[in-house]
Amino acid sequence: MTRLPRDVTGEALAKALSTLGYTTTRQTGSHVRLTSYARGEHHITIPRHDPLRVGTLAAILADVAAHFETSREELVERLFRLKG
């Protein structure tokens, strides 16, 4: 099982998700709502915390993975490719 990165900020996650077609549609306080129209309309809300809690990151990635009908592990590899 792929280990989730521990240092991802809400802003960095939003930027990474933009590669999947997510765009910011609303911001209220410290939370950002992203919407993707790829494979149907899908909304997610991301707290702009630094860093995100691992459980929060896992839940967001599981939701996105389910929408794109892929595994969370494949999604993590795609979004957070190891540098080097």
Q: Where are the domains of the chain?
A: 10-77
Confidence of residue 74 (pLDDT cuts 50, 70, 90): very high
- Tell me the pTM: 0.89
pLDDT of residue 1 exceeding 80? no
Tell me the CATH number for domain 10-77.
3.30.920
In this structure, the strands spanning 42-47 and 23-28 are unpaired
Q: Which residue has the higher pLDDT, 81 or 38?
A: 38
pLDDT of residue 82 exceeding 60? no
Which distant-in-sequence residues (6+ apart) come within 8 Å of 33 by Cβ? 24, 25, 26, 27, 43, 44, 45, 46
